[in-house]
Amino acid sequence: MAVLHFVATGSFQYTVADSNGMSQPTFSGVLQEVLATMMNHMNSFIQFPTNADLNHVKGDFYSLGGIPHVVGAIDGTHIALVPPHNREQVYCNRKNFHSINVQVVCLQDLYITSVCALPRINS
């Protein structure tokens, strides 16, 4: 539950760990295990609509906002983290704190169809 709280709020590991009665290093280990497990199973639950479903999705989005041909809503956020020491610079974002950039796409009923979580890419 602490991991879900962390992901949902975008809070810091220390704050979530403390409010759930554990140390930050313990929470960091739990976070890594839970997220790895979620990533291993996400393709079973997170899928883009099939061609047969797209017209229904477009119709529902049109009913909600009046914009035609929409097949998903997209948003992103930076989730703060403690970076690995050997690759710390990869996780430093443009506001000079360490984070991972997360992008989520969902349907009109908030069903998630895509998740992408990456550190900043150096050019």
SS3 label, residue 44: helix
82 and 26 in one domain?
no
Domain count of the fold of the chain: 2
52 and 30 in one domain?
no
Which residues pair with residue 118 across a beta bridge?
101
DSSP letter (8 states) at residue 92: B
Reported as a single tens digit per residue, the pLDDT across 5-29 is 888 777 788 888 888 899 999 998 8
Residues in the chain: 123
In the block, residue with structure tokens 């948003």: 75
62 and 17 in one domain?
no
Which residues pair with residue 104 across a beta bridge?
75, 115
Answering whether pTM is above 0.85, one says: no
107 and 57 in one domain?
yes
> Which residues form the domain of 55?
46-123
The neighbour count for residue 44, using CB atoms within 10 Å, is: 7
The encoded tokens of residue 42 equal 């996400």
39 and 52 in one domain?
no
Q: What sign does the CA torsion over 109, 104, 34, 44 have?
A: positive
Q: Note the pLDDT of residue 23.
A: 92
pLDDT of residue 123 exceeding 80: no
Helices 2-9 and 24-45, axial angle in degrees (round to 10): 80
